[in-house]
């Protein structure tokens, strides 16, 4: 077998391994019921901040931990521990997407979070031209 054929086979094998690895690591969107029913499996959970519950962020104790309560789009609530500092304008967020996994005791441990914040542009202030 030629050297170029061996190199091509190795490149193809690496590409297939990378594809399989990315499919294995990818997480899916779920509600809190599904995430809590499958502890240890990573999910993207969409919801809103439950503003009636306390947001705890104490940088003097742990600058990389924020805890709060999330309400998913079906109305179920869950205590969340985010492994990041509290984002700016967190309280003003319209929607949250948490990336993480549920635990056996019914909590959600998020390693990352995406926020949808209110637009700074108001429909009433648009100028028609």
Strand partners, 129: none
Q: Is residue 20 part of a domain?
A: no
Q: Is residue 66 part of a domain?
A: yes
Cα dist. 83→46, 70, 109, 118 in Å?
Answer: 17, 15, 8, 24
Measured torsion, CA atoms of residues 91, 97, 100, 105, in degrees rounded to the nearest 10: 60
Predicted confidence (pLDDT) at residue 4 exceeds the cutoff of 90: no
pLDDT band at 110 (very low <50, low <70, confident <90, very high): very high
Domains in the chain, number = 1
Query: Taking residues 49-69, what's their average pLDDT?
Result: 94
CATH number for 113: 2.40.50.140
| H helix or E strand, kind and range, residue 128 | none
Q: pTM here?
A: 0.71
């Amino acid at each position: 077998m030629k050297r170029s054929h061996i190199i091509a086979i190795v490149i193809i094998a690496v590409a297939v391994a990378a594809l399989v690895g990315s499919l294995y690591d990818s997480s899916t969107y779920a509600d809190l019921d599904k995430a809590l029913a499958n502890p240890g499996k990573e999910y993207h959970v969409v919801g809103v901040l439950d503003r009636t519950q306390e947001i705890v962020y104490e940088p003097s104790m742990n600058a990389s931990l924020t805890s709060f309560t999330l309400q998913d789009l079906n109305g179920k609530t869950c205590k969340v521990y985010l492994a990041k500092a509290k984002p700016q304008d967190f309280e003003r967020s319209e929607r949250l997407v948490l990336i993480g996994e549920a635990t056996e005791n019914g909590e959600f441990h998020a390693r990352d979070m995406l926020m949808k914040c209110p637009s700074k542009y108001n429909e009433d202030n648009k100028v028609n031209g």
